[in-house]
A and B are shown apart, each in its own frame.
Chain A
Amino acid sequence: ETGVTQSPTHLIKTRGQQVTLRCSSQSGHNTVSWYQQALGQGPQFIFQYYREEENGRGNFPPRFSGLQFPNYSSELNVNALELDDSALYLCASSLESGTGGGYTFGSGTRLTVV
């Protein structure tokens, strides 16, 4: 059973650019959620996808968007990058949306915006 895999591990972008982060969910999981973690803070919910549909969104602007694919892998896209977007981005997968079976997290992507 494979866990959650995220790529890339590190990324440096310039303000105003666009970035795409990728996540492969754990085998058998059909729900993927994305979190942003600033230094010294707990992870903040960005959005969640269940069976390729967005079914929850946190307090993030529309320039944060995502996709989930038929194999349940997912992408997080951020347009018009700002310096405050620098953070660790975490992807988590779970068995079913709302069943409370626990979440499995990936190792994260460290994004630095300069």
Chain B
Amino acid sequence: KQEVTQIPAALSVPEGENLVLNCSFTDSAIYNLQWFRQDPGKGLTSLLLIQSSQREQTSGRLNASLDKSSGRSTLYIAASQPGDSATYLCAVFSGNTPLVFGKGTRLSVIA
């Protein structure tokens, strides 16, 4: 059974810092991994989708990497801003099974 773990559970950083969020999964037989952002009480916004054949994806100040063999992904946020404050969730997709989510990392960027 696939399990996804995200570390740290919460993170507070000053504005401008570069930061890394970690995601690990137990079964490396995945099709892809997706990072989402969730604002309090709101739905999920897709940030980056990495296919199993890819090593990384970039969008603006965000860069996500995938090491399938070791069951790890990282989300790198450059030059953090207060508007980046949210919960970041990673989820893995393994074919016909549903998305399996971690519990998320709650990020606070202090101005």
Contacts and interface: CB of A to CB of B under 8 A. Distances in A.
Nearest to A105: B44
A42 B89 contact: yes
B98 interface: yes
17 contacts: A42-B101, A42-B104, A45-B98, A48-B98, A55-B96, A56-B98, A98-B96, A100-B31, A100-B95, A102-B34, A102-B46, A105-B36, A105-B43, A105-B46, A107-B43, A108-B41, A110-B41
B49 interface: yes
Looking at A44, A90, A102, A104, the one whose CB has the most chain B CB atoms below 10 A away is: A102
Interface in A31-71: 33, 35, 40-45, 48, 55-56, 58
Given A42-B102, A100-B31, A107 B96 contact: no
A107 B104 contact: no
Nearest to B100: A45
Interface of A: 6, 33, 35, 40-45, 48, 55-56, 58, 88, 90, 92, 97-98, 100, 102-108, 110
A92 to B, nearest CB: 7
Interface in B50-92: 51-52, 89, 91
Contacts, number: 64
Given A42-B89, A90-B44, A102 B96 contact: no
Contacts of A56: 96-98
Interface residues of B, number: 27
A42 B92 CA distance: 12
B99 A92 contact: yes
A104 to B, nearest CB: 7
Contacts of A42: 4, 89, 91, 101-104
B93 A100 contact: yes
Nearest to B101: A42
Looking at B51, B89, B101, B103, the one whose CB has the most chain A CB atoms below 10 A away is: B101
Looking at B34, B89, B93, the one whose CB has the most chain A CB atoms below 10 A away is: B93
A41 B103 CA distance: 5
B32 interface: yes
